[in-house]
Structure 1
């Protein structure tokens, strides 16, 4: 087999919205909007620098709901740049950019292959240096936004061909419950088709589901919310003479999302807590001096600071100050190293011995034991939630939200309720209704408003 190299990317979501940042100052909003284009530019740069023979893109180049003319023109510009370097592109459309969605009516350049719907198309990829055939690339696009059948079963190797076979598929493998089950299939389905590499898209979390053959989600190229944390980018894949693929991940994101945990245990007062938060902000700045970062702090543990956070609005005050400092940086165009604090998820409690309370022969002890058992049993958790939330089901919007709640979200509600019970029933806080804040989210929306923590929805491409 002839050795060659290609780049695998997916879920570009060019010019799409960033979740949870509706009240951003215009200077920072503009920079965030540009970040998906900056990641695309880095993708082109990696392809050129690494001298790949071709690029495959596994769906969701942009969101039809946000499909700006600028996004489409910038993508065409990137394709043209790849073409100037002799790099071919093979791509499919996913659930966010289906074929029936509105877009510019123009034919793709000669070096770009866009696979249609119905059944997988096939194309031959060439090595740039000598034009030799090196791979058969197959792909199938979404005709509409919702494809619920297992399209992987339609893929077939090219009869009689000994070339390396690559399949482009935008779908949910092995039923990831955090994502929409479009084009659902299993690893067994994919392995059984006989392909040498499955270039997947749709799930924004980078993962290699299988080694031989490689079944690969590269993730999206730019995180867009707090649930898309960590490095985002693409894979460069080298195929050797034996047909074995080796993968190298390349970071492309211009803005990095983080969730950092900070315990209040051992912090004596508000000043120590604020200093601890500021120290973590500077640590993030030092870790990523060339990137902008967006961080949510999870405040955990038990201690005296809980009362300060709950009753005196310390979290809102510090959030406003941290954000003010970064706006000053942005106004000086210092986006590299900027750290925007998106909010605080307060999961703190009073300094009490919860284990001791759980052993009591009392209503409070029984309540804590029930909460603990429900945490360990999915069926008990669902039953408890169904009973507790039944009065809310008359509201259609609440019913929709509750129906899509993940297990982690339900566990968060359960723990919050248990913490409230401790405060009220143990008689440890004369201002319990104002003081309990075991799982409240303080965020930049709403100028310091307090609102129940909603958790993070699964976000698929």
Structure 2
């Protein structure tokens, strides 16, 4: 087999509208709106720098079916730049940018292959430096926004070809609950189709589901909310003479989202908490000085400072001040190193003597002992018994039963911990308990930044 290199990207979501940004300062909002285009620019530079033979894009190039004119023109400009470097592009459309969406009527350049929506098509990829055939690329686009059939089983290798086979699919493998179940399929479906590499799109979390053959989600190229944390980018794939593939992830994002936990354990005064928050922000700034970071704080633990957070509005006051400081940086165009605090999720409580409560002959004491039993070493069976008993009424509903069957052990532990903490708050008789903000908020005014 002739060795070659290609770039696999997906979910560009160009010109993402970042719904709910109206409250942000104009300079911050503008930088966020530009971030998907900046990530695309970095993708093009990477393809050229890495001297790839071709690029594959597995759907959701645009954020909405009626893609903005700016988004379309910027993408055409990117394709032109790749064409000038002799780099072909193979792409499909997904649920956000289906084929029937209104767009500019313009023919794609010769170096760009767009697969149709009727059945998986075939195209031959060549090595740039000598024009030798190196791979068969197959793909299918979404004709409309909602494709609920298992399109993976319609793929097949090109008859008679021994070349490396790459399949482009925009779909939900093994029922990821965080995304719509469009083009649903299983790993077993993909493994059985005879392809060497499944270039997937739709799930925004980077993951390699399988290695022989490779089944790969590169994730999106730019995070767009606190639901999309961590580095975002694409894979550069080297296919060797023996047909084995080696993957290298490359970061493309210029704005990174994160959720960070800050415990108030032992904090007695507001100044201690403010200092801890400010120190954490500077740590984030120092860790990623080349990025703008958007951070949400999860305030956990127990301490007397909780009363200020829950009753006195200290969290809201500090949030306003932190955002004011970073807005000044944005006005000076100091985006690299800017740390925008998106909000505080107050999940903390007042200080209690947990060891004393564990010894109490009371409902609360019994509940805490039960929770500790579920968290102890070798307690998998106890955890299952506790959770199964608690959710038994829900299991009577078929859809809920399907969803609950996919909950991980760690998530179940989180439920147990949360129930124990809520029990302490509600049953311990602490004055003011339960008045703190609970759970995550997508932004301070209660709206959402974005949806997939």
Distance 1:172 1:444 in 2: 28
* 1:11-410 paired onto structure 2 within 5 Å: 11-18=11-18, 21-64=21-64, 67-354=67-354, 356-365=356-365, 377-383=386-392
- Relative to 1, partners in 2 of residues 1:421 and 1:216: Cα closer, same or farther, differing over 3 Å? closer
**Number of positions where the alignment pairs a residue of Structure 1 with one of Structure 2:** 435
Deviations 1:96-153 (A, max 9, x none): 1111111111111110000001210000001110111110000001111111111111
The 10-residue stretch of structure 1 (293-302 or 369-378) with the greater mean CA deviation from structure 2? 369-378
Change (3 A) 1:381 1:375: farther
Q: Any conservation in 2 of the 1:343–1:441 contact (CA below 8 Å)?
A: no
Quick check: 93-102 or 41-50, which moved more? 93-102
Write the distance in 2 (CA, Å) between the matches of 1:195 and 1:413. 40
The answer to whether the Cα contact below 8 Å between 2:342 and 2:444 also exists between their aligned partners in 1 is no
Query: Would the alpha carbon gap of residues 414 and 248 (structure 1) be closer, same or farther in structure 2, given more than 3 Å must change?
Result: closer
Aligned residue for 2:348, secondary structure, equals strand
Deviation sequence 1:361-417 (CA, Å, 0-9, x none): 334345656878798555444457899xxxxxxxxxxxxxxx99x969999888667
- Secondary structure of 2:301's counterpart equals strand
Distance verdict in 2 for CA 1:455–1:439, change over 3 Å: farther
1:280 CA drift (Å): 0.8
After TM superposition, the structure 1 stretch with the greater mean CA deviation from structure 2, 174-183 or 207-216, is 174-183
Shift of 1:269: 1.1
Q: How far is the alpha carbon of 1:222 from its aligned partner?
A: 0.1
Distance 2:218 2:316 in 1: 37
Q: TM-score normalized by structure 2?
A: 0.88
Would the aligned equivalents of 1:419 and 1:438 in 2 still touch at CA under 8 Å? no
> Secondary structure of the residue that 1:70 maps to in structure 2?
helix
Q: Distance in 1 between matches of 2:422 and 2:336?
A: 42
Q: 1:455 to 1:48 in 2, by over 3 A?
A: closer
Q: 1:381 to 1:253 in 2, by over 3 A?
A: farther
TM-score, normalised via structure 1 length: 0.87
Structure 2: runs of 5 or more not aligned:
375-381, 397-402
Partner of 1:439: 438
Unaligned runs of 5+ in 1: 388-402
Which deviations, in whole Å up to 9, do the C-alpha atoms of 1:206-230 show, x marking residues without a partner? 0011111111000000000001011
Pair 171,345 (structure 1): closer, same or farther in 2 beyond 3 Å = same
| 2:18/2:449 contact within 8 Å kept | no
RMSD across aligned C-alpha pairs, in angstroms? Answer: 2.9
Q: Shift in Å at residue 19 of structure 1?
A: 5.2
CA contact (8 A) 2:53 2:127 kept: yes
Task: Tell me by how many angstroms 1:438 deviates.
Answer: 6.3
Q: Aligned residue for 2:429?
A: 427
- Deviation at residue 67 of structure 1 after TM alignment: 1.8
Cα pair distance change 1:62/1:411, threshold 3 Å:
farther
Counterparts in 2 of 1:52 and 1:254: CA distance versus 1, 3 Å: same
Structure 1 CA distance for aligned equivalents of residues 439 and 108 of structure 2: 49
Distance 1:238 1:123 in 2: 19
User: SS state of the match for residue 118, structure 2?
Assistant: coil
Aligned mates of 1:427, 1:126 — CA distance in 2: 72
CA distance in 2, matches of 1:291, 1:278: 18
Which secondary structure does the structure 2 equivalent of 1:361 belong to? Answer: coil
Q: 1 CA distance for matches of 2:335 and 2:143?
A: 40
Distance of 1:315 and 1:411 partners within structure 2: 28
Post-superposition offset of 1:296: 0.5
> How many Å separate the matches in 2 of 1:88 and 1:288?
33
- The answer (yes or no) to whether the contact 1:166–1:199 under 8 Å persists in 2 is yes
CA distance in 2, matches of 1:140, 1:255: 31
Q: 1:103 to 1:411 in 2, by over 3 A?
A: farther
Cα distance, 1:419 vs structure 2: 4.5
